[in-house]
Amino acid sequence: MRPPVRPAPQTIQRLVEIVGRSNAIVEAQEMEPYLREWRERWIGKAAAVLKPQNADEVSRILKIANEMLVPIVAQGGNTGAVGGQIPSDSGDEVVMSLTRLNRIREIDAVDNSITVEAGVSLRSVQEAAEAADRLFPLSLGAEGSCTIGGNLATNAGGISVVGYGNARALTLGVEVVLADGRIWNGLRRLRKDNTGYDLKDIFIGSEGTLGIITAAVLTLFPRPLDRATALAAVSDPEAALPLFHLANGISGGRVTAIEIIPRIGIEFIERHSPLRSPLGAPAPWYVLVEVAGAGPSGVLQLAMEKMLGEAFERQLISDAAIASSEAQRRSLWDMRESLSLVQKAEGGSIKHDVSVPLSKIPAFLREATAAVERLIPGARPVPFGHIGDGNIHFNISQPVGADAQAFLARWEDVSKAVFDIVLRLGGSISAEHGIGRLKRDYMPIIKSPVERAMMKDLKQVLDPNGILHPGKVLP
């Protein structure tokens, strides 16, 4: 693998000509929005930002980049959480923004499929599905801005994985441009296709390091006509797990989301937003649960009532409120979705996106909280997230009145302690956000030599010159 080089002005000129001057940015100041991510954790530099319009332009750019060894960084909605979409600060890299590949090519209600280009926003896909009386269930806080290309490249998760699976499970086919410019049209819409290696799965979750995704066929579901949502108070995470299984059992496997929220999260919400918990006395933990399905209206409301009644009897919950209108349901979800924002108002926060087997969640929460308190007395863990997937966002707010920068300077120490516990419990240090730049140096710890060698070999075959995202994912 030869090291990528700073592109010569003539090379930049050739690249700009492919997309046209109005779709290229070469002035440093105008590039700014593409060079920093939302938390300002990474701020890079670039030789140019190119905005191709179709797979053919992507292909022509990559052909030249491969020949001239120009490093390329793909970017969709720039909402990624591990810095993969931001170029390094060398100024040698070219950012390729995919947002102009924004056509919904086809929606087929009989096949339950939708074919979209990589730059279409997740919300646009959800809306197109709804217009065809179907559901595209992928759902996450950034859905108004993130793109399908970014969702597939990071194998995004979100709140409905417990019911429908992650981005990988929702993808039937992909169109990818390889590092040397060849276009692979893998836009199949088959649910069964055992004809050799499933190549689409190599690109999903590869964070742009193996190829640029230009389009995808996604799978659709019947629109849920019946739905019930409740917030329940529980004394500890141990009680949340039987509640999940109870809800799934009574609803016939219809739990489409189940989230855990700690008391401190509700306190932050009530302090920094107009939202209020519908429950009376404060409880140590809360579980937000939703069941949904295509059956007759009202059935799942009854199932939810039955489930909560049984949970009271078994002393799993101490209080509960079922949303009786769409506005009440929305307000419960707004509470959950505002957690990151309200945490910001409490000063610096150190964040982790981890997963452990479901049965290990209580032990993980106990041990990680104790470890953080030992390292930084007064630090305030705010662990919340997708408890049905074993995926906890183990966020920690700074001690009250502490200096935010001094607290954030402990990020590495804290992460090491948290990750040690995750790995000991058989978990993953990145449940849904990916590796990018943030977790790259953990790869030798989390992957065996055989696994790392296979990943390197794949990279060598698909991107022998190492032009795609140098320094990301692989150490």
Q: Which residues bind ligand FAD (CB under 6 A)?
A: 38, 73-81, 84-85, 98, 118, 140-142, 146-147, 149-151, 153-154, 156-158, 207-208, 212-213, 340, 432-433, 436
In three-state secondary structure terms, 251 is helix
Q: Which is nearer to ligand FAD, 119 or 381 (CB)?
A: 119
Backbone angles phi, psi at 24, to 5 degrees: -130, 145
Q: Which is nearer to ligand FAD, 126 or 340 (CB)?
A: 340
Q: How far is the CB of 370 from ligand FAD (least distance, A)?
A: 26
Q: Which is nearer to ligand FAD, 120 or 300 (CB)?
A: 120
Q: How far is the CB of 317 from ligand FAD (least distance, A)?
A: 25
Q: Which is nearer to ligand FAD, 168 or 189 (CB)?
A: 168
Cβ pair 200, 155 in contact under 8 A:
no
Q: How far is the CB of 462 from ligand FAD (least distance, A)?
A: 12
Q: Which is nearer to ligand FAD, 34 or 244 (CB)?
A: 34
Of all residues in this chain, which one has the CB nearest to ligand FAD in the complex?
150
Q: How far is the CB of 147 from ligand FAD (least distance, A)?
A: 4
Give Rg (Cα) of the chain. Answer: 23
Q: How far is the CB of 329 from ligand FAD (least distance, A)?
A: 18
Q: Nearest 10 degrees: CA dihedral of 236, 240, 246, 249?
A: -160
Which of 109, 72, 121, 120 is CA-nearest to residue 94?
Answer: 72
Strand partners, 365: none
Q: How far is the CB of 164 from ligand FAD (least distance, A)?
A: 13
CB-based burial label for 183 (10 Å; 0-12, 13-18, 19+) = middle
Q: Which is nearer to ligand FAD, 204 or 308 (CB)?
A: 204
Q: Which is nearer to ligand FAD, 80 or 262 (CB)?
A: 80
Write out the two tokens for 395. Answer: 């966020």
Q: How far is the CB of 343 from ligand FAD (least distance, A)?
A: 12
Q: How far is the CB of 313 from ligand FAD (least distance, A)?
A: 33
Distance between CA 406 and CA 23 in Å, rounded? 41
List Cβ neighbours of 375 (8 Å cut-off, separation of 6 or more).
410, 413, 414, 417
Q: How far is the CB of 73 from ligand FAD (least distance, A)?
A: 6
Cβ pair 317, 281 in contact under 8 A:
no
List Cβ neighbours of 10 (8 Å cut-off, separation of 6 or more).
none
Q: Which is nearer to ligand FAD, 135 or 138 (CB)?
A: 138
Q: Which is nearer to ligand FAD, 360 or 437 (CB)?
A: 437
DSSP letter assigned to residue 360: G
Extended strands (E) in 349-416: 349-350, 353-355, 380-386, 391-397
Distance between CA 2 and CA 113 in Å, rounded? 41
Backbone angles phi, psi at 347, to 5 degrees: 100, -155
